[in-house]
A and B are shown apart, each in its own frame.
Chain A
Amino acid sequence: MATHQEIETLLARVALGDRVAFRRLHQEVAGVLLATAARVLQDRSLAEDVVQDVFASLWQQRTPAAADPPARSFAWLCVIVRNRALDQLRRRPREVSIHGEDADGDEVTYDAASDAPGIFEQISAEQDHQLLQTCLQQLEAEPRQALLMAYLDGLTHAELAERLKRPLGTIKAWIRRSLMSLKLCMEPAS
């Protein structure tokens, strides 16, 4: 996996119309972008479409006159994919309810947080992620989980309250405090 700095260089070269860099960028980041979209959409096929659309836009809108600002960082590219996935999610009804029945009629609970490995556990020791790992570690476990579920799974306050079985006010306070702690930790000078 390329470093974030290498990915930024690739993005800059893509902005120059460098097809070699475009292909390399795809090789390097498509997997993470797919994970980002799939986590929100819970549908691999739709997630693949979102990633394809974002890559196509990245190439087509790279001119200086393009309406949207170009992605300058890996994080920003991930945010674009997440937002496209959320738009997609909001355009269609939730196909999988949190509670349902399996083929045998037994009650099952679908929980995005438990279906896939938690992001906190996934974060590698790569240098690019060390600060993030440290800052997440400083949050208490439940508020951290709420923050990650809100961001990665696209859940609202109400959905978080339902999933985590906590009062809405508690969820809101957790999110508020976690955001500010994260900011202070990641950019102490700002």
Chain B
Amino acid sequence: MKPTWKDHPQALERLAGEYALGTLQGAARRRFESVMRQRPDVAAAVHAWHERLGRLLAAQAPLPVSEDAWPRLEARLFGSPARQVADEPKPWYRRRLGAIPAGALAMGVFLGVMLAPLLEATRRDSQLPESYVGVLADPAGTPGLIVSSLRRGSTVDLKVLSPIDVPAGKTLFLWTLDQAGVPRPVAPVPQGKFVSLKLSQPAEEIFFSAVELAVSIESAGVQPSAPSGPYVYRGLCGKLWRLPGT
């Protein structure tokens, strides 16, 4: 068969650039899109061009944003917390773990996979002690931290799967998040791969209302009332015990 432009890497690269730039138009654009759908190498070349040219856009001077832009977005996405919980369809892992706020959805699938066997084991033979367990993800979306505590215990065990660099004078800090996403401080997390921390109250009182667990970086020696920055680990708080009627 006679070679065409599809067989020439240089031609494909040039067309990928023109496609991302937007100057490839009409039938030629549609033909190229058809090839792109079938050829991962061509799709990757277009992606690389988008990243390359996108830097031009990112370098633009910002325009002033309307003061009501964020409140409008917030109202559109979250409304009131009660409405949010009522309106969102609950996938299987959320039904299984109880009421989970929207903020946990990103890790829902992963945690569902991780926790489901544990929950099933609990249902079958009750071999596991009643516990709170969280598998928290790091910012890359991979398992970063396992948090567990006996339901009526007074300590929390933490196993670090993906370490996070903590600057000098700072510490990791554990939070619970309730259905509305409101954080409540638990305690600073000692450094180490496998550590324990002593709770100021019984675990049941601290974790019962928690639907998520999260960890932020805070100043050492300070008792924060709210996270001072984004979370570095976050995930669902699972309750491993038999519920009435199950």
Binding site for B on A (CB under 8 A): 1, 4, 9-10, 12-13, 15-21, 23-24, 26-27, 30-32, 34-36, 38-39, 44, 48, 51-52, 55-56, 59-60, 62-65, 73-79, 81-82, 86, 117, 119, 122-124, 128-129, 132-133, 147-148, 150-152, 154, 156-157, 175-176, 179-180, 182-183, 186-187, 190
Please tell me if the beta carbons of B58 and A74 are within 8 angstroms of each other in the complex. yes
Tell me the smallest distance from the CB of A49 to a CB of chain B, in Å.
10
Please tell me if the beta carbons of B104 and A17 are within 8 angstroms of each other in the complex. yes
**Complex: A10 Cα to B72 Cα, angstroms:** 21
Please tell me if the beta carbons of A17 and B22 are within 8 angstroms of each other in the complex. no
> A59: nearest residue on chain B (CB-CB)?
B77
The majority secondary structure among interface residues of chain A is: helix
Chain B residues contacting A148 (CB-CB under 8 Å) are: 56
**Complex: A39 Cα to B50 Cα, angstroms:** 18
**Complex: A56 Cα to B25 Cα, angstroms:** 29
Please tell me if the beta carbons of B17 and A13 are within 8 angstroms of each other in the complex. no
Q: Is B150 an interface residue (CB 8 A)?
A: no
Q: With A175-B21, A183-B52 known to touch, is A20 a contact of B59 (CB < 8 Å)?
A: no
Chain A residues contacting B21 (CB-CB under 8 Å) are: 147, 150-151, 175, 179
The majority secondary structure among interface residues of chain B is: helix
Q: With A122-B59, A179-B18, A180-B14 known to touch, is A21 a contact of B230 (CB < 8 Å)?
A: yes
Please tell me if the beta carbons of A20 and B231 are within 8 angstroms of each other in the complex. yes
Report which of A59, A122, A133, A183 forms a contact with B61, defined as CB distance below 8 A. A122
Please tell me if the beta carbons of B54 and A176 are within 8 angstroms of each other in the complex. no
**Complex: A73 Cα to B55 Cα, angstroms:** 10
Tell me the smallest distance from the CB of B21 to a CB of chain A, in Å.
5
Tell me the smallest distance from the CB of B40 to a CB of chain A, in Å.
13
> A25: nearest residue on chain B (CB-CB)?
B230
Q: Is B161 an interface residue (CB 8 A)?
A: no
**Sample (6) of A-B pairs whose CB atoms are under 8 Å apart:** A1-B62, A32-B60, A76-B54, A122-B60, A156-B22, A183-B49
Chain A residues contacting B109 (CB-CB under 8 Å) are: 63-65
Q: Is B106 an interface residue (CB 8 A)?
A: yes
Please tell me if the beta carbons of B230 and A82 are within 8 angstroms of each other in the complex. no
Tell me the smallest distance from the CB of B26 to a CB of chain A, in Å.
9
Please tell me if the beta carbons of A10 and B77 are within 8 angstroms of each other in the complex. no
**Complex: A82 Cα to B53 Cα, angstroms:** 11
Please tell me if the beta carbons of A132 and B56 are within 8 angstroms of each other in the complex. yes
> B50: nearest residue on chain A (CB-CB)?
A79
Chain A residues contacting B20 (CB-CB under 8 Å) are: 79
- Interface stretch of the complex, out of B31-39, B133-141, B189-197: B133-141
Tell me the smallest distance from the CB of B118 to a CB of chain A, in Å.
20
Chain B residues contacting A15 (CB-CB under 8 Å) are: 106, 141
Report which of A36, A44, A55 forms a contact with B73, defined as CB distance below 8 A. A55
Given contacts A12-B139, A16-B107, A132-B59, 14 further A-B contacts (CB under 8 A): A13-B230, A16-B137, A20-B231, A23-B74, A34-B63, A35-B60, A64-B110, A76-B51, A117-B61, A154-B22, A180-B17, A183-B13, A183-B49, A183-B52
Report which of B17, B22, B66, B227 forms a contact with A183, defined as CB distance below 8 A. B17
> A69: nearest residue on chain B (CB-CB)?
B47
**Complex: A185 Cα to B165 Cα, angstroms:** 34
Chain A residues contacting B64 (CB-CB under 8 Å) are: 31
